[in-house]
């Protein structure tokens, strides 16, 4: 009887230790910030979409509404969104399969990268919407679908590999966002 109780107490200890270990694993691997949930639900459709002007306008207005709900910091800038000019100056770079770099200087109020890409003149992109936001497949007419082309469009923020999709990547003043054609090994 005593031995049984001791075993159970050991089990209890193991239980507590495992919880601690899992929490440590989580802390080592967790994303640096919480992605905005509203941006994900917004594009939670599985249909193909192209960034026509109409759609991007819709996305902008939807973003404005949700942005007000989520982010008190940004309310000041959201009030002035009717103008094309914004409060954040960012650079978007596109590096194609040949290594040619095209740079777009964008002044925007966009909260997420997708809107800033919509505002960048001359930059076009297409992709598939998923529950995690848009999966970008074609940039400036060049297609990189992993299953078909064995390549993908990678996203970098100030040279660091991006943690988010374009629908949840926050836009920060002064940042450089690179969209790079990368071949899989």
Partner 1 sequence: MEKKFGIKDIAYIGMAVALIETCKMALAFLPNIELTSFWLVMFTLLMGWKAFFIVPIFIAIEASLYGPHVWVIMYLYVWPILVLLTHLFRKNTNVLFWALLSGFFGLFFGALCTPAQVIFFTKPDTFDTAVKAGFAWWVAGIPYDVAHAVGNFTLMLVLYTPIRIAVNKLRTFSH
Q: By CB under 8 A, name the binding residues for partner 1.
A: 4, 8, 11-12, 15, 18-19, 22-23, 25-26, 29-31, 146-147
Q: In this complex, which beta carbon is closest to partner 1, that of residue 28 or of residue 84?
A: 28
| 76 close to 88: Cβ distance less than 8 angstroms | no
Angle at 58 between CA 56 and CA 64, to 5 degrees: 100
Minimum distance, C-beta of residue 87 to partner 1, in the bound complex (Å): 32
SS3 state of residue 149: helix
Minimum distance, C-beta of residue 19 to partner 1, in the bound complex (Å): 5
Q: In this complex, which beta carbon is closest to partner 1, that of residue 43 or of residue 115?
A: 43
Minimum distance, C-beta of residue 26 to partner 1, in the bound complex (Å): 4
Minimum distance, C-beta of residue 14 to partner 1, in the bound complex (Å): 9
Spatial distance between the Cα atoms of 121 and 153, rounded to a whole number of angstroms: 19
The token pair that represents 72 in the structure block: 């008190």
Minimum distance, C-beta of residue 11 to partner 1, in the bound complex (Å): 5
Q: In this complex, which beta carbon is closest to partner 1, that of residue 23 or of residue 50?
A: 23
String of DSSP letters for 78-113: HTTTTSS--SEEEEEEEE-TT--EEEEEEEE--SBH
Closest of 117, 118, 138 to residue 128, by C-alpha: 138
Q: In this complex, which beta carbon is closest to partner 1, that of residue 18 or of residue 50?
A: 18
| 167 close to 36: Cβ distance less than 8 angstroms | no
Question: At 48, which helix (H) or strand (E)?
Answer: strand 48-50
Q: In this complex, which beta carbon is closest to partner 1, that of residue 48 or of residue 131?
A: 131
């Amino acid at each position: 009887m005593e031995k049984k109780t001791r075993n159970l107490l050991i089990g209890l200890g193991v239980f507590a230790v495992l919880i601690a270990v899992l929490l440590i694993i989580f802390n080592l691997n967790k994303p640096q910030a919480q992605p905005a949930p509203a941006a994900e639900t917004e594009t939670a459709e599985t249909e193909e979409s192209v960034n026509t002007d109409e759609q991007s306008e819709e996305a902008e207005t939807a973003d404005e509404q949700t942005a007000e709900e989520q982010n008190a910091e940004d309310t000041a800038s959201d009030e002035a969104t009717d103008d094309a000019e914004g409060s954040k100056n960012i650079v978007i770079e596109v590096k194609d399969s040949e290594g040619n770099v095209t740079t777009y200087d964008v002044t925007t109020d966009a909260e997420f990268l997708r809107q800033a890409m919509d505002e960048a003149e001359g930059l076009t992109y297409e992709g598939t919407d998923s529950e995690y936001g848009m999966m970008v497949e074609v940039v400036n007419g060049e297609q990189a679908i992993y299953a078909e082309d064995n390549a993908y469009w990678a996203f970098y923020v100030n040279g660091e590999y991006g943690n988010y999709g374009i629908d949840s990547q926050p836009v920060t003043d002064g940042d450089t966002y690179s969209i790079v054609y990368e071949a899989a090994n």
